[in-house]
Structure formats: structure tokens, C-alpha cells
Amino acid sequence: MAVTRSGGFAGLVRRAEVDSADHPTVAGLIGDVRLDDVPEPRPQPDRYVYDIEIGDHSAQVGEADLHGPLRELVDHVMTLGG
């Protein structure tokens, strides 16, 4: 899976990729995440935008909508693969 973070005041792009087969914690969190249920991004000045890819599924999520297991997953992947 992969996370690409864009936006923020700096406008820098950061991408992190992790193979869930190598990371049981990531695999576990993926099981808790429903990518199809994330709300449409509401653009807000200088907040981060996350493009999240899990296998064939992908979604764009605004920083303010990143909660719960999805937030945990994104933080974990950015730390591991960033």
C-alpha cells in the first residue's frame, strides 16, 4: 500500500510505500479500514491532502477527515516508509 501526502503551507509532496506482507501491524490496520466510506475531500487552506492506495483501491482524504483506524494506518505507513 502507499500514501502520498500533498499540500500544507509548504506544498511539499511526501510518498511512503509499505508491503503489508512484511508488516503485520499494517495488514491488521488495513483490515479495519473502509476506503469506500471516506467522505469527499472538502478543500481547506493549507491542510494536507492524502492519496491512499491499498491494492486496487484508492481514495483521497483531507487531513481534517483522517480519523480512527485510517489515521493510525496513514501515520504508521508514513513512519515506516517515508
Residues that bind Zn ion (CB under 5 A): 45-46
Question: What is d(CA 80, CA 82) in angstroms, rounded to the nearest whole number?
Answer: 6
Handedness of CA 50, 14, 81, 18 (dihedral sign): positive
- Nearer to another protein by Cβ, of 31 and 44: the residue is 44
Candidates 7-15, 20-28, 31-39; binding stretch for another protein (CB under 8 A): 7-15
24 near another protein, rule: CB under 8 A:
no
Q: What is the DSSP letter of 46?
A: T
Among 18, 26, 28, 44, binds another protein (CB under 8 A): 44
